[in-house]
Amino acid sequence: MQLIKLEKVKDGKYLKNYVLDYENKAGREKQFEIVSHRDLADITDLGRYNSGVSIVAVKDGRLLLLREFRMGINRFIYNMCAGMIEEGETVEECVRRELYEETGLHVKKIRDILPPSFSAPAISDVKTSLAFVEAEGEFEDHTSENELIEAAFYKKEEVKELLKTAEFSSRAQTIAYFFAHSCF
């Protein structure tokens, strides 16, 4: 498998669509489509940049989960607080801003931030950092008119029940499972 080139085919506000020309293992030239948050100059730019953060927030032994409407699937799912890094912003600044914007909560302590990992490598080069934080404060709605988010903290037993009945993003489901079945 060898990438030959990439070509931008659509330049959206948040996503850019690319076609990748590649040679498969049989030596045939093929094409593959991906999306990125970035303007990519060439194939060496693929997967190079950290796009954002996902936040694992806890308070008093409870896990923060967002129940949010996601346009791409036309339904509510449980998700982690997350967002894109703005121009000139550090990962830590992004964590603080996104937690506040989506919940009204503040970061009491950043426990750890993992190196960026790929969010959906089958269709995108988007990478995000996973931040583990202790939160403080009270819930307030600071979301835009284009977001519908209900934030709440859940005890381990409540999370176990949600895992049986509710739909999640894959990252949130993984975090919720480990929270519910082990010590955080």
- pLDDT band of residue 177 (cuts 50, 70, 90) is very high
How are the residues of the chain apportioned to helix, strand and coil, as percentages rounded to the nearest 5? Answer: 20, 45, 35
- Overall CATH class of domain 50-181: alpha beta
- pLDDT band of residue 132 (cuts 50, 70, 90) is very high
- Mean per-residue pLDDT over the chain, rounded: 95
- pLDDT band of residue 110 (cuts 50, 70, 90) is very high
Q: Is the pLDDT of residue 62 over 90?
A: yes
* CA–CA distance, 105 with 183 (Å, rounded to integer): 23
What number of other Cβ atoms are within 10 A of residue 121's Cβ? 12
Greater pLDDT, 184 or 69? 69
* CA–CA distance, 124 with 132 (Å, rounded to integer): 24
Q: Is the pLDDT of residue 184 over 60?
A: no
Q: Is the pLDDT of residue 141 over 90?
A: no
Instruction: Report pLDDT for 183.
Output: 59
When pLDDT is averaged across residues 148-167 and rounded to a whole number, the result is: 97
Going from N- to C-terminal start, the domains of the chain cover 2-45, 50-181
* CA–CA distance, 184 with 179 (Å, rounded to integer): 6
Q: Buried b vs exposed e over 66-79: b needs ≥16 C-beta within 10 Å?
A: bbbeeeeeeebbbb
When pLDDT is averaged across residues 125-149 and rounded to a whole number, the result is: 93
* CA–CA distance, 49 with 165 (Å, rounded to integer): 35
Nearest Cα residue to 13 out of 34, 39, 32, 31 = 39
Distance from first CA to last CA of the chain, Å, rounded? 40
pTM of the model: 0.91
